[in-house]
Amino acid sequence: MILAIETSCDDTCAAILDGDNLLANIVSSQTRFHARYGGVVPEVASRRHLELINLVVAEALTVAGVELGQIRRLAVTTRPGLIGALLVGVATAKAIAFACGAGLVGVSHLEGHIAANYLQPEPASPPFLCLIASGGHTSMIYVAAERDFRLIGRTLDDAAGEALDKGARLLGLDYPGGAALDALASSGDPAFASFPIGLDRAGNFDFSFSGVKTALYYYLRDAGAEMVQRRRADIAASYQKAVISALVKKVIAAARSLNCSQICLAGGVSANTVLRRRLGQECTSRGISLRIPPPELCTDNAAMIASAARFLPDAPHPEWLSMGARATGGLLV
Amino acid sequence: MLSIVSSSVAVTAAMAASLARLLKPGDVVFVSGQLGAGKTVFIRAAAHELGVGELVTSPSFTIAQTYAGRATIHHLDLYRLDGFDADDAVDLEPFFDKDAITFIEWPEQAKLFLEEPAVVVKLEHVDEHSRRISFLRPREDLKKSLEELVAGTRH
């Protein structure tokens, strides 16, 4: 049985995985915690993680109905992220592993996102092309086997989720507004305005989302407040279309070039309704199977860290006592 | 006023590279400007001039990225840290390192407890391709070089 901890981003997360059975998957932004402890401190701050970590771990054990003594392995995100935030998770995992005589394994957040696809209800198996799109990352990885990754493309500047969040902010929505932008766009006309699709003709699988954000800034500045107010949903839909089109076009082109018949999604942008619909249509018409984990496994969570840990060896004892955290690093490093 | 209008990304990048050549380990540079003003573009060019070979991407979500160049380069983005206060300064401490050069986007979010910068670079939208680049509050030893840099660009 694996207890996994993830504190690399905004949420404090703990999960318990027993074989293929996910017994608990607790995230601090879930209503239960947020209503009680939600505050003004930036979520990424280490003191925020410190306040929540024991509560979140205790909740995971309660929901799973297991005792600490039953945990045989601890899995924890060690990279990438803010060192202070990561260390809250690493220190907690070490302490529990030490107390329980359990094994400990350090996991990369990005490997975790990919490994969300190995969880129920529809576990995928390699080979597949994985699009990781979130607020902090946008890359395409060819997963030949559970531990065999090939980077196919990546963003050269902003992440896709960042482009959606910042576009939302420019349109007057609260940050992070990716989900609010999606909702606003649902009643808008995506053909109303034209925004550039980054690296559309570059002939490679890299992404760029900085230009579309700047284009929106100038569009809003030149259009005038009255028009922007009246056509906000149309502008939101048009902007979102440009961001999502880049993802859809490149992932389909990459799958074709790799002759790959399975695409998996990972990261918070997987919840975007336009991405799901348009990529779904493209995949269906080309006979590609598309797998999208449920939303709670796409956004940051610890279940994905537990899932990735299944394919990794325990850190050697007692060297793991000096296991640290790293600000950088992604797959296999 | 130490200020020029850059007509392209290439000119902005050249200015960033020129500034980078004036920096030394321990220096902190604030880079302010609106969304899309070119803060990341500016810092990317400065980092490349300082020997960073890797791709420099936006750290808005991750808050900080660290690169190996001729010195260690830290690239911070405080955009998301609206409520950061002195109690949270501990999270940023690792990036104020006397052996590293640190660039900070959105420093306004946390100005109460940040180190005094060597210079503040302000980027402003002029039109879709042009940006006004201003060097504010330069440290005494950088003043003359920055004046020459700005004067040289105007000719």
| Shortest CA distance from A206: residue in chain B | B55
Measured between beta carbons, the chain B residues lying within 8 angstroms of A83 are 91, 94
| Shortest CA distance from B91: residue in chain A | A84
Q: Angle at which helices A210-223 and A160-170 pack, to 10 degrees?
A: 10
pLDDT digits (tens, 9 = 90+) for A97-125: 999 999 999 999 999 999 999 999 989 99
Could you tell me the pTM of the whole model? 0.91
pLDDT digits (tens, 9 = 90+) for A77-92: 999 888 889 999 999 9
Beta carbons of A180 and A168 less than 8 angstroms apart: yes
pLDDT digits (tens, 9 = 90+) for A7-41: 998 899 999 999 999 999 999 987 677 666 655 56
Q: Which of A224, A267, A219 is nearest to A239 (CA)?
A: A219
Residue B122 neighbours by CB under 8 Å, 6+ apart: B32, B33, B132, B133, B134, B135, B136
The domains found in chain A, sorted by start residue, are: 2-115+298-322 (3.30.420.40), 125-293 (3.30.420.40)
pLDDT higher at B83 or A116? A116
> A70: burial class by Cβ within 10 Å (0-12, 13-18, 19+)?
middle
Which is it for the CA torsion B88, B90, B94, B97, positive or negative? positive
Sorted by where each begins, the domain ranges of chain B are 3-133
What architecture is the B3-133 domain classified under in CATH?
3-Layer(aba) Sandwich (3.40)
Residue of A49, A113, A164, A217 to mutate when probing chain B, most B C-beta within 10 A = A217
B36/A214 CB distance under 8 A: yes
**A156 contacts chain B (CB < 8 A):** yes
Its ipTM equals 0.86
What's the number of CA atoms in the CB half-sphere (13 Å) around residue A230? 6
pLDDT digits (tens, 9 = 90+) for A214-260: 999 999 999 999 999 999 999 999 999 999 999 999 999 999 999 99
Which 193-232 residues of chain A touch chain B by CB within 8 A?
Answer: 210, 213-218, 221
Place A142 in a pLDDT band, splitting at 50, 70 and 90: very high
pLDDT higher at B61 or A253? A253
A158/B58 CB distance under 8 A: yes
A82/B81 CB distance under 8 A: no
**What CA–CA distance (Å, rounded) separates A85 from A325?**
9
Q: Beta strand A138-145 with A73-79: parallel, antiparallel or unpaired?
A: unpaired
What is the percent of chain A where pLDDT is above 90? 83
pLDDT for the residue numbered B91: 85
B57/A44 CB distance under 8 A: no
**What CA–CA distance (Å, rounded) separates B109 from B101?**
20
pLDDT for the residue numbered A82: 86
**B130 contacts chain A (CB < 8 A):** no
